[in-house]
A and B are shown apart, each in its own frame.
Chain A
Amino acid sequence: MDRLGTFALALSLALAVYGATAAIVGVRRGRPQLVESARTTAYSMLALVVAANLIMEIAILSNDFALRYVFENSSRATPVFFKVLSLWSADEGSLLLWNLVLAGYIAAVAFRFRRARPETLPWALAVMYLGQVFYLVLVLGPTQPFAAFAVAPPDGRGPLPLLQNHPLMAVHPPFLYLGFIGFTVPFAFAIAALVTGRLSDAWIRTVRRWVLASWIFLTIGLMLGALWSYGVLGWGGYWAWDPVENVALLPWLVATAFLHSVLLQERRGMLKVWNLSLAVGGFALTTFGTFLTRGSILSSVHSFAQSPVGPMYLGFLVVVLLGGFGLIAARAWRLRSEARLDAVLSREAAFLGNNLCLVLITLVVLVGTIFPLLDQALTNRQVTVGEPYFVETTAPVFLVLLFLMGVGPLLSWRRTSLDRLRDRVAVPAAAAALTLVVLAVAGMWNLPAALAFGLAAFVLVANGQEIVRGIRAFGRATGRRALAPVAPAVARDRRRYGGYVVHIGLATAAVAITASSVFALRSDVTLTRGQSTRFAGYSLRYVGERTVQQPQRRVLIADVDVSRAGRDAGDVTPSLNMYPSASEPIGTPSIRYGVLKDLYASVIAFDDSGNRATFRFFLNPGVMWLWVGFGVMALGGLLAAWPPARHRRVSPAEPPVRELAEVSG
């Protein structure tokens, strides 16, 4: 088993080396059949990496504890569902999955450009293969997922309790991996454009949809991570500015910036160096993220991933940064902007502002994340940078971003006349003003929150208005009425409508984030059996403790009756889970999800054989809308990324071949 797995990985490595070499030699010597073989190598390499992953899954499912990884991350009592997840519950296995996703992306690129080849394809393939070489060397050298014992122990240790406590573990890491690794594609094509000197907009058009796909995966991954944190960890929140959360947010911010700034290059020929830098920076940030989480340089709740590969990641990061930004620096003099900003009141200006804000937030979060390291290097103190820093520095920029998100869609390209702007801004501005009045009347006055709510209302109405306006105009032009023009109008301009939908989702999420961070209530209380406490208008009565024995753990459940204004409102059942391999219990919160607010209960400890229990209760307003908002954002992204109907497909990457074919046919 172990030999087979290692063999599959070694063969994959050979193929990756071959792919990179063949692509480079082929394009330099002008031998297209060599480039073609580099392209098709992607399929066989993917098959081998799939095989390595399957071998590991089979070993886990068949309790092959002779494999160290299986021993450390699975056990006979582990439910099958969590056994399957064990593939990515620790460093070595998750690197197998990482290799799988990367090989998948290379194969997808090879397939996508099987007929129409951008001139940058050979170099892009070579760059991606080289990335794969690095990750394959990692699993063959310093971290060996297939390392085996001389004697097989009778049973395994089982996954870390925290990781087998909730099914969300199943989907959160794969989505983040899909998002992270997707950045390899824009990076590869940017490097290819730099190397070949084909610095027109072609690479932008080639990668736009790939970046969008990464962005969608990251959006979903971030949401699932927040959902896991909220529903599993029991501290009442969904985002802790933990270094590992931050490094997942950074590429998302850069991808968001890129998706806006490419429009400026496509339409106006502006921001060429900037876009290349975002592509390189986004990939460097994902590499930095892996380095941070797996290279064990910063302490974090995610420190389950400790391994001796730090120096290798550091080397890879240095190569990426030097290669990427070095090439940009060397080529910058060829990348003059074709246009300047015509007017401040223009779509371009809003996009520029958006990019400045996003990159500013990226830098601020990055500095906060690595500051403990910097500080220790200079003063030899150990500090941590907490939530207040991140909130106080990023919140104002996020508010500016919200404003731009509302006003940007109202502005025209090049310049907007004041009259036109006044006409378009009237309704959204009225909505924002109305929101402020309602907040003041309701007595919920808090300046930052009021600003956020007002701006969110502005964004929601402005983007909604633009959707309606666009569809109506299309309906008038084509003589369709009522809802008839919706589908064809959206189909004609998916990118635009997708963007509006994303804005609406983000504004919704902004409302939820503001409400839950400004207006949340919390109470820590110890109750004896039968005793009640009042909290946020609820009456909470501790009924008692009961124990449920499950194969892999013992669950101590606290039954708490909830009533409100004398009426029964169900119950909450927070619990503590005792795993044999953990000395400390792992809590599971119990949440009564509501449209406007969640009642969130954690049990901290039981005393006196269950007669007393210590609870932590939270009232979290608006959290439901965070999930809704993120869902809407992902849908908007999907709408923008959806390929146009086949018969009208005019992908900019394809014309040369197709036009030739039409001419000759």
Chain B
Amino acid sequence: MAHSGKTPARYGCHEAREDAEQVMGNRASAEVRALFEEHLRGCRHCRQMNRLLYAVYEGPVIPPAPTGVAEEKDFHAALRRMRTEKPAPWYHTLTVRGGIAVLGASAAALALSLAGVTPATFGFGSGSPDGTVDAVAMGSGTGGDVGGFSGDTGEAPSIKHAAQAYGRVVAGTAVMTDADGDGSQSNTFEVGTQFEVDANESLQIGLLGKMVANATPGSRVTWVKGTASLVELKIDEGMLAVRYDRAASDPILQVRTPTAVVRVVGTVFTVQVEEDEGSAVSVLRGQVEVLDPVTNQTVAEVESGDRYDVAKGNYDTVGRFEVQSALPISKNASGSDSLEARIPESWHVPGLPADDANRTLAYVPERSRASVIDGPSIRVVGTTGSGNGGGHASQGHDAEPLPVKPAARRVENDSDDIIADLMEGAATARRKELIAALRNCRDLYASNETRYLAATCIGRFLKQYDDHPLAAEAYLLRGMLRMDYALDYKTAEVDLETYLRRAPNGRQVEKARYRLWLSATEDGRINEALKRARTYLDTYPNGRFVGKIIQRFPELKNSL
């Protein structure tokens, strides 16, 4: 301290600089402070210096930390780093010999690559079946884990190409309005499309090749956003169920209601909005966050088995209604063959018997109806989910008077005719058993609520009648169903290729080729999709699906 206890005879710039820090820290005596301030009044340079020193000690103004989606992404990025930055075991630091071995292996790999042999030849690596390098497919695997960050294979966003940024009507009837307010009857749609689902029939749609949604009769749903980082759906009325097995590189899914934003952290949840605009969120698998739509702040985290009422701020358990709503578009993680009307093991449904045979809707405890749906007062119920199983989204509440919607237009559905062909062929073959089996499949296929079960039915049919000429067409149908409901593109392609192999001159060959292209596109294998698109356009320059291919790959227009 330069002047403790004493006042100097002359208080100049040197003294003022010595005392500046003490004055700022309120540690200087009143006398020193007075001298300091007096000096500053008369010395412009010291004033400037003092201001600067004050700014140094004050520190920078800290920008606010990211919130909402940005915060979510940062957190998951930290978790990904956590896995990649796991410290190596101590013995790794000592493996000089190991290093030499790696060098040797690298040299061998280099030599092999120069010789034109790819690692895929040896069964490691994940090259495309045709050997083409497909960077876009990286990171597009389905994680299916809580938190949605398992199965992460890379940092690259899994939606890279504009051709993927479309949705597709899988089945059902709705009035579709595009972003410009124009009506549409195509089964392919873009961001901004609004759906007013028919009052008597549900609608099933696929988005970005990554999620499949079921809108119950009378729903009004809008696809608001679809980018590599965020997919947003808005529910104004009715109910929506979405299955989304999100991998780390996949976009975040948000479902917006008038009073809440529900963000997918896990994979299976339901959203319900009541007439008074109160929302309720239920989770069947994984975890979701409920955000305030205005501030974007987290209101609640809801875990599997729980139902959260946003307005009341309290929790309950999920009930039959929520399970029922999510079942139609669910699938078992073990594969599309297990598309059954069973509640997936991965779903947490409190009160459900542990016995596998009893994991059906009938055993799900029904919550008091009032807590689920207050009679006709419920206007909007949204459900998003992923998992497996089946159910009837519109059943169980069919006594509720649903809002009357304008006359719906049936959207194009490219699989309707196949089962009719199968039936026709079976009739001519006069095979009673076969007809009965097909009829069962047809009944399942006829309803949007049970159509996903037709894949299993067709699978059983194929097991029994695989040697029958009709079986080839059944492969096509099963491939399409697997693609639409299970989003299991690789398995679907095996079926489609089987069809093409067994019926090279069949009536549906063009459709099978189109579906093969669509599968690669929605799966994000753009190189492969382009190759298949060219093959299709070369074979069918005036084909039924040319418009759809050009819509997603406008650059191919010149090749026509």
Question: Real complex partners, A and B?
Answer: no
Q: Which A residues lie at the B interface, using CB under 8 A?
A: none
